[in-house]
Amino acid sequence: MILDLFKLDGKVAVVTGSGRGIGQAYAVALAEAGADVALVDVIPMDETAAKIEALGRKVCAVTADLSNGETAAPAIIAEVVKQLGGVDILVNNAGIIRREPFTEHSAKNWNDVLSVNLSTPFFLSQAAARQMIAQGRGGKIINIASMLSFQGGILVPGYAASKGGIKSLTMLMANELAAHGICTNAIAPGYIATENTRPIRENPARNEAILNRIPAGRWGTPEDLMSAVVFLASPASDYMNGHTLAVDGGWLAR
């Protein structure tokens, strides 16, 4: 049956930034598909953990500061292996955004955003890929891109640069890791109603301009992204590699 290809029974997934919002939706979706899930965040993850436990899946929560991925990544993967026995799926969801005009954008904001949004996914993917290769059963790495992986945007130079980098890194990883049975793809969410986008939604002019461009006529929700992450984590996407999948209500088509 075709639906069997979307099952994740026996798999272990790691989801960063899974304490709330989109990361929580990704983690719950993977658990609903059958995976045990390791949550990684700097904020409390009790709510997400309770949702996963209610589904009858194993869950562990790893509290980690993702501003220094080079140090954090090996420890995170080692802890997941210790608690859940391995790593089959990695979702690099954690990210931050800092809004300032290009000419005023501080070095701190630039460095902070690039560190969390681009460097940490690199180091985490590296650590996870090493574990997947050692296990010898392949795996799935899912990066989180953005509409700004395709467009320049305004007022967020660090974020735009990081998400452009994620799209390219995804392709590089696909080229190098495919021989080990590891597929690397990315999800590019459109305009989703989260804490990160609250300042835009609370600006009447910006909110109206965005809604007028989305063919679907509404902001997306974290739930709109759940099926995409299950697809990319499952055997259903085994011949998809290096692709950035836009889930945007038609934004890029306008």
Helices (H), ranges, 33-119: 46-54, 69-84, 107-114
Distance, in Å, from the CA atom of 75 to the CA atom of 226, rounded to the nearest integer, reads 27
DSSP string, 104-130: G--HHHHHHHHIIIIIHHHHHHHHHHH
Where in 119-197 does DSSP place strands (E)? 139-144, 182-189
Strands (E), 125-170: 139-144
Nearest residue to 138 (alpha-carbon basis) of 72, 233, 231, 209: 233
Residue 157 CA to chain centroid, in angstroms? Answer: 20
3-state class of 80 per DSSP? helix
CA torsion, ordered 81, 85, 87, 93, to nearest 10 deg:
-70
Q: Please state, in angstroms and rounded to a whole number, the distance separating the CA atoms of residues 211 and 248.
A: 12
φ, ψ at 215 (rounded to 5°): -55, -35
Catalytic, 26? Answer no
Choose the catalytic residue: 26, 159, 191, 239.
159
Q: How many CA atoms lie within 13 A of 62 on its CB side?
A: 25
Active site residues: 159
